[in-house]
Amino acid sequence: MGSTRLPCKMLLSLHGLPVIDWVVRRTAKSRLLTRIIVAVPDTPLDDVLDVHLRARGVEVFRGPERDVLKRFTAAADALVGAEPGALIVRVCADNPLIWGGEIDALIRRRQAMGSAPPDYLYNHVPLNNRYPDGLGAEIISADLLRLLERKAARPAHREHCLSYITDNPDAFTIQTFDPEDPRLHRPDVELDLDTPEDFRKLSLLPLHPDMEPADIIALFPKAGG
């Protein structure tokens, strides 16, 4: 709720539904996630977000606002405890159009790698892949997340909680992949919500909370097309 670029954005009404409800509802389309927890800052401003989510039966964990890595790690520990081999999927609440099917594609890709998976696998941003920005997520092991909590000291790595990995590519194996559906091969499309202009853009599109990603991408004409 304390976003400086778009204040209170998690409860802004996007086509009649609060933004956080878009995120949770579309994440819940996943068939492979076992639990979903929203890691909410422990500030008084975010109390209203906590109340909103709990009233809808959503699991909530409260933690430090600025130290996102600590909040995320503590939420993950509350979620899986000491479960051996536990995997953690990080979903960014700035992505109201995230899709459970693409989260499942990420999980299946990770599971198919058997005994030698990468440390970090992602499909949420169009970096070395053909995904739009904002459909997917990131996945790491709970053990690696705890390691990051111990090792990451710079403020930027505490705020952007998995950036320690991407800023140290020689120390970790990092992989991504393209969408299976060629209609989603649109790295030029940005679906995240960071600014008033992003909110205006999404508010003017004929979107609904259960809309398939291919139908969403079709709303964005290709350059020169």
Q: What are the structural domain ranges in the chain?
A: 9-197
pTM: 0.95
d(CA 43, CA 198): 25
Helix, strand, coil content of the chain in percent (nearest 5): 40, 15, 50
Residue 150 burial by Cβ neighbours in a 10 Å radius (0-12, 13-18, 19+): exposed
pLDDT in 10s for each residue of the chain, 225 residues: 999 899 999 999 999 999 999 999 999 999 999 999 999 999 999 999 999 999 999 999 999 999 999 999 999 998 888 688 899 999 999 999 999 999 999 999 999 998 899 999 999 999 999 999 999 999 999 999 999 999 999 999 999 999 999 999 999 999 999 999 999 999 999 999 999 999 999 999 999 999 999 999 999 998 765
Both structure tokens of 98 = 């995230």
Do 176 and 128 touch, CB atoms closer than 8 A?
yes
Q: Which CATH architecture has domain 9-197?
A: Alpha-Beta Complex (3.90)
* Contact partners, residue 34, CB within 8 Å, separation at least 6: none
Do 2 and 65 touch, CB atoms closer than 8 A?
yes
Q: Is 137 left (phi over 0), alpha (psi -120 to 50) or beta?
A: beta
* Residue 89 backbone phi and psi in degrees, to 5: -100, 125
Neighbours of 19 (CB within 10 A): 22
* Residue 13 backbone phi and psi in degrees, to 5: -85, 115
**3-class state of residue 9 by DSSP:** helix
d(CA 188, CA 142): 32
d(CA 65, CA 71): 8
